[in-house]
Amino acid sequence: MSSNERRMQAGIEAVRKGGAHALGLFKRRDELVIEKKGRQDLVSRADRETETIIRDHISALFPEDGFLGEEHGAAGSTDRMWIIDPIDGTANYLAGIDYWGVLLAYVENGRPTLSFTYDACRDELWTAEAGKGAFRNGKPIRCADTSRADEALLALSFNFKLDPPVYTNMLEAAIRKGIDHRRLGSSALKLAYVADGRFDATVSMLTNSWDVVPGLLLVKEAGGCIVDFTADGHPYDQPRPAAACAPGIRSVIEEVTGLTLDG
């Protein structure tokens, strides 16, 4: 078994293990103490414990690998690094809304290589390996074949660190093109839904790597177009805009966002 095959198996085990823990606490969320990291930025022990479970599982199998996690930060190697968002959609999670995901990516020599997105509430696991396609629960998936803006469905994210007109101007431009939109609260699941043909595009005008790097690889492997998060040497530990879409609406998404997509 190759190193990537072993890491793929480890990643699947880790997100399922972490997801099971998070789901158990989700069902008892009235016991959680909620803390604020910033404006509309919440956290609880569920986030921290889930990230620790994932890190510990990976570390036991690959002690030489490093990590970049939303809750516990960076540690170890950056040549072979796992990026973790233990609960993407924490506000939904703590409000009892079952739209959140467990997110993990393996990055080797600066390039995303493996991707894992787990919806524990629905037991849907999306995986991808660079150059080998995208899958949901082991079955191949592809982006939608949508080619008209007035038939497209766009999923959005908003970050309170962003100047509001950057978001509202982009939204107005999309609406004027006839694009419908949703804002559901988990970048991880929105990217998975684009890869799976449920949404046609998703955009965040300011986001962190742990929110989107796994899903961007997933969309790319499903035949979609994506922003390269590390283009121009941008580091993984700094936020930037991100977008992904079905290939047939690439030009209109680039137009309304001002972003450049690859695919």
Give the pLDDT confidence score for residue 194 in this predicted structure. 98
Give the whole-angstrom CA distance, residue 260 versus residue 256.
11
Give the whole-angstrom CA distance, residue 7 versus residue 61.
9
Q: Residue 167: which H helix or E strand, with range?
A: helix 164-176
Whether residue 155 is predicted with pLDDT greater than 90 in this model: the reply is yes
Give the pLDDT confidence score for residue 36 in this predicted structure. 55
Give the pLDDT confidence score for residue 44 in this predicted structure. 74
Residue 262 belongs to a domain:
no
Whether residue 41 is predicted with pLDDT greater than 50 in this model: the reply is no
- Percent pLDDT > 90 in the chain is 83
pLDDT tens, position by position, 188-215? 999 999 999 999 999 999 999 999 999 9
DSSP state of 182: E
Residue 57 belongs to a domain:
yes
Number of domains into which the chain is organized = 2
Range of the domain at 36: 3-140
Give the whole-angstrom CA distance, residue 101 versus residue 181.
20
CATH for 56 = 3.30.540.10
Residue 263 belongs to a domain:
no
Model pTM above 0.85: yes
Residues 123 and 223 in one domain: no
Residues 219 and 180 in one domain: yes
What pLDDT band is residue 29 in, cutting at 50, 70 and 90? confident
